[in-house]
Amino acid sequence: MRGNSHVRFGGRSWETDPRQPGHRAQGRPYIRSRAQRLGYDLAKIVTFSARTVDPEGRLVNVVQALDVDTVIAPSLEHFDGRVPERLVRGCELNTVNPEATYAPHAPFQFVDADGDGA
């Protein structure tokens, strides 16, 4: 296996209604399946409610404390529809729907015409 995987579910109102397709209980098997397909051991499923203050910051703290390689989320909607920059600075983000990977940015290095670093 590739390492630890970390999962985050957001606290959106549609997740609290079990009749809705995005409900947490319905999403967990998809998260587990995505982690398995990517070769990760699922370390933990973390949930935050809509009342959680700074859920992205709290998630970053959990990621650092568990020293995980990847966060798997149902979608970017759990991050208000955007790639959370604070999170992807330190780990990879994978989404279930659509299946996508957002990797930490590699350090940028200028290369001059001779191929040497500038």
Residue 17 lies in a domain: yes
Domain span including residue 26: 3-102
What are the per-10-residue average pLDDT scores of the chain (118 residues)?
46 40 64 90 84 90 90 89 91 91 70 56
Residue 110 lies in a domain: no
Instruction: Return the pLDDT at 30.
Output: 87
CATH number of residue 9's parent domain: 3.40.50.1390
Instruction: Return the pLDDT at 114.
Output: 60
Count of domains for the chain: 1
Residue 69 lies in a domain: yes
Long-range contacts of 30-34 (CB under 8 A, 24+ apart): 30/74, 30/96, 30/97, 31/7, 31/72, 31/73, 31/74, 31/96, 34/72, 34/94, 34/96, 34/99
Q: Are 25 and 18 in contact (CB under 8 A)?
A: yes
Residue 107 lies in a domain: no
